[in-house]
Amino acid sequence: MDSLTPATAGKTEALAARYGHDAIPLAGPWNETIAGMLGHRSVRAYRPDPLPEGTLETLVAAASSAATSSNLQTWSVVAVQDPEARAALAEVASGQKHVRQCPLFLVWLADLSRNARLAEAEGVALEGLPYLESFLVAAVDAALAAQNAVVAAESLGLSTVYIGALRNDVQRVAGLLGLPPGAVGVFGLCVGYAADPGEVKPRLPQATVLHRERYATEGEAAQRAGYDTALGEFSARNGMGPEGWTGRVIGRLAKLRAMAGRDRLVAALRGIGFPLR
Give the shortest CB-48-to-a copy of itself separation in angstroms: 19
Site for a copy of itself in 91-110 (CB under 8 A): 109
Contact 172, 92 (CB under 8 A): yes
Residue 108's Cβ-count burial label (10 Å; 0-12, 13-18, 19+) is buried
Q: Is 240 in the site for a copy of itself (CB under 8 A)?
A: no
Q: By three-state DSSP, how is residue 249 classified? A: helix
Write the single-letter amino acid at 142.
A
Q: Is 198 in the site for a copy of itself (CB under 8 A)?
A: no
Site for a copy of itself in 122-161 (CB under 8 A): 122, 124-129, 131-134, 136-137, 139-140, 143-144, 146-148, 150-152, 155-156, 160-161
Beta carbon nearer to a copy of itself, 97 or 252: 252
Q: By three-state DSSP, how is residue 73 classified? A: coil
Beta carbon nearer to a copy of itself, 9 or 85: 85
**For helices 132-155 and 55-64, angle between their N-to-C axes, nearest 10 degrees:** 130
Report how far apart, in Å, the C-alpha atoms of 76 and of each of 18, 26, 97, 151, 235 are: 31, 38, 24, 18, 35
Site for a copy of itself in 30-69 (CB under 8 A): 30-34, 36-40, 42, 52-58, 60-69
Q: Is 208 in the site for a copy of itself (CB under 8 A)?
A: yes
Q: Is 79 in the site for a copy of itself (CB under 8 A)?
A: yes
Report how far apart, in Å, the C-alpha atoms of 16 and of each of 23, 35, 159, 236 are: 7, 12, 21, 18
Q: How many residues bind a copy of itself (CB under 8 A)?
A: 130
Give the shortest CB-112-to-a copy of itself separation in angstroms: 9
Task: Out of 1, 26, 49, 83, point to the residue binding a copy of itself (CB under 8 A).
Answer: 26
Report how far apart, in Å, the C-alpha atoms of 42 and of each of 88, 110, 270, 273 are: 22, 22, 31, 31
Beta carbon nearer to a copy of itself, 101 or 184: 184
Give the shortest CB-190-to-a copy of itself separation in angstroms: 11
